Amino acid sequence: MIKFLQPIKLALLVIICSSKLIAQDNQYEVLQLGARNAILSGTSVSKYQDGTAVYQNPATLTQATSNMISFNTAAMSSENIKFKNAVGKEYTLKSSATSFLPSLIGGDWKPRNRETDWVIGYAIYHRNRDKFRFTNRVEESKNVINDVESPGEEDYIAQYTIQSEYDETAGVIGIGKKLDEKWSVGASFNGIYRNQEYREVFTASVIPRLENNPTIDVVSSSSDISVYYNKAMAQLKFGVAYQDKGWNLGLTLMTPSIGVYGSGEIIADINLTNIKLQNDSTRKNYLASTRLEKLKSTYKYPLSIAFGITKQFPRVQYSICGTWYSAIDKYTILDPGDAVFIRPSTDDNVLVTKNFLQVWSVNRNVINVSASLDYTFRDNLHFLFGYALDQQFNKEMPNEPGFQLAKKTWDLHHFNAGVMLIRPKANWIIGVQTAFSKNDEYKIKRSLNNPSEDNLLQGGLSIGTAQSVLTGLIISYSFKFGNEN
């Protein structure tokens, strides 16, 4: 018979709802807008490079020499992750995806046959995206149940699956105004639509062996948690640009995001069967189940300030850039409220639903830096190189109720290279992007190591090394129209 969980026991179930997750949603600059800017690692804040100026720094739009439309495509992207814990057991978690979707369609336009100091820029692009599926399964003999009830070893079978997919699409329109031959200003409006689907499934069973004459039957623990939300947001960016004697400087400020609308859903089921919790002398069954629809969703991007410098030599262009992202205090992405979750429902246990199902986030201050080199091999052929540090923004708060979706607690180091072929009416770019990361103190709560009834058959905390490698191929075509300045 299903029993009601007393409040003193509720904290044990939080283990299920607050385990470590892995998701590519913990860095601000995984994807850079535009092929040339992406290979140059986002250093285009100080100087116009292509149609991405409307996003990077709308003030640099005034440096455009012709009207242009760009089509940039991430032709392939893949990611491999490996976790090795401190005792030497490896979990190889792999995720790969191939896509042929445009990451940018955009350009710039000078009205009145370009006889004005005003330039308009526009773009539709993928701001961020990721898709992955990680699994782990264990089948082995372990002594999990006390020998009084089940002498010797039992058969332990457990598996753990995480699936997550999210995507951000944005549209931006902006304008740049030349003040004089050296100074320009600009502003742009960014409309962002984000959606994310996440599911985490855990099952574990301990099967006593009949030949050992156990006094109990199968003991099991399972949870299935599914989260979905979408959010429409808006941000404004303001920029200043300066150019003189081969030097280019740029400064931008992007406002915090403003939520427009959004909704979400949480579906959760937790079952404990024939299990003995701490400080309990009897075995019981427990159930928690709910579906919460049409929840108000929140997602936030912080205030950011970027500064860049470019120096042009006869054949080489060097650029550096730094971007600061402000911290965001803890906020709730999805709030389940006092919904019915633990069964049977009472006036008391609905008050603790937030402790299990609240989805929240908190961001720390981040400073990302990048550097690039653009080498003119011939007038119509450039070699492009870039490096960027993309720090994770997540701030771990393990004692907070509920759970976070951002869990890739490592910094990314991007290394990019490519070639640009310049034609009278078009530019072609082909490039390769890579990113590497490593965290020597990565924590996994559901390790499936050393399971016991005290940890709900999930295993103990595992601390080890997590490594990630990302690779991608970029193909870009930019069409020029009108006459060069």
Q: Kindly report which listed range (72-81, 118-127, 210-219) carries the lowest average pLDDT score.
A: 72-81
**For residue 155, what pLDDT is reported?**
94
3-state secondary structure of 114: helix
Contact between 185 and 178 under an 8 Å Cβ cutoff? The reply is no
**For residue 475, what pLDDT is reported?**
82
Question: Residue 306 CA to chain centroid, in angstroms?
Answer: 21
Among 118, 211, 127, CA closest to 169: 127
**For residue 462, what pLDDT is reported?**
75
pLDDT in tens, 231-285: 999 999 999 999 999 999 999 999 999 999 999 999 999 999 999 887 777 898 9
**What's this model's pTM, rounded to 2 decimal places?**
0.85
CA dist 69 and 66 (Å) reads: 10
Q: Which string of b and e fits 345-378 if b means at least 16 CB within 10 Å?
A: eeeebbebbbbbbbbbbbbeebebbbbbbbebee
Q: Which string of b and e fits 306-331 if b means at least 16 CB within 10 Å?
A: bbbbbebeeeebebbbbbebeebeee
pLDDT-derived band at 76, boundaries 50, 70, 90: low
% of the chain at pLDDT higher than 90: 46
Contact between 186 and 57 under an 8 Å Cβ cutoff? The reply is yes
Contact between 373 and 317 under an 8 Å Cβ cutoff? The reply is yes
pLDDT in tens, 144-183: 999 999 999 999 999 988 888 888 899 999 999 999 999 9
**For residue 166, what pLDDT is reported?**
85
3-state secondary structure of 338: coil
CA dist 85 and 83 (Å) reads: 6
pLDDT in tens, 18-60: 333 333 468 888 777 778 888 998 899 999 887 778 889 999 9
3-state secondary structure of 45: coil
Assigned CATH class of 7-481: mainly beta
**For residue 234, what pLDDT is reported?**
97
pLDDT surpasses 50 at 358: yes
Among 254, 79, 286, 54, CA closest to 173: 54
**For residue 230, what pLDDT is reported?**
96
**For residue 21, what pLDDT is reported?**
30
**For residue 222, what pLDDT is reported?**
94
Among 346, 269, 335, CA closest to 5: 346
Among 349, 444, 360, CA closest to 402: 360
Structure tokens at 155: 């058969």
pLDDT-derived band at 15, boundaries 50, 70, 90: very low
Residue with tokens 């590497």: 436
Instruction: Report the Cα–Cα distance between both ends of the chain, in Å, rounded.
Output: 81
pLDDT surpasses 90 at 311: yes
CA dist 342 and 344 (Å) reads: 6
pLDDT-derived band at 484, boundaries 50, 70, 90: low
**For residue 23, what pLDDT is reported?**
33
Residue 105: Cβ-neighbour burial (10 angstroms; 0-12, 13-18, 19+): middle
Structure tokens at 206: 């301990």
Residue scoring higher pLDDT (458 or 233): 233
Q: Show the beta-strand stretches assigned E in 208-303.
A: 219-244, 247-254, 258-275, 284-296
**For residue 112, what pLDDT is reported?**
64
Averaging pLDDT over each range in 84-88, 110-114, 116-120, 129-133, which range is the top one? 116-120
Structure tokens at 119: 């330039």
Contact between 363 and 395 under an 8 Å Cβ cutoff? The reply is yes
CA-to-CA separations, 84 to 440, 442, 484, in angstroms, rounded: 9, 9, 56
- What mean pLDDT is reported for the chain? 83
- At residue 459's C-alpha, the angle toward residues 456 and 461, to 5°, is 115
Structure tokens at 207: 């099967």
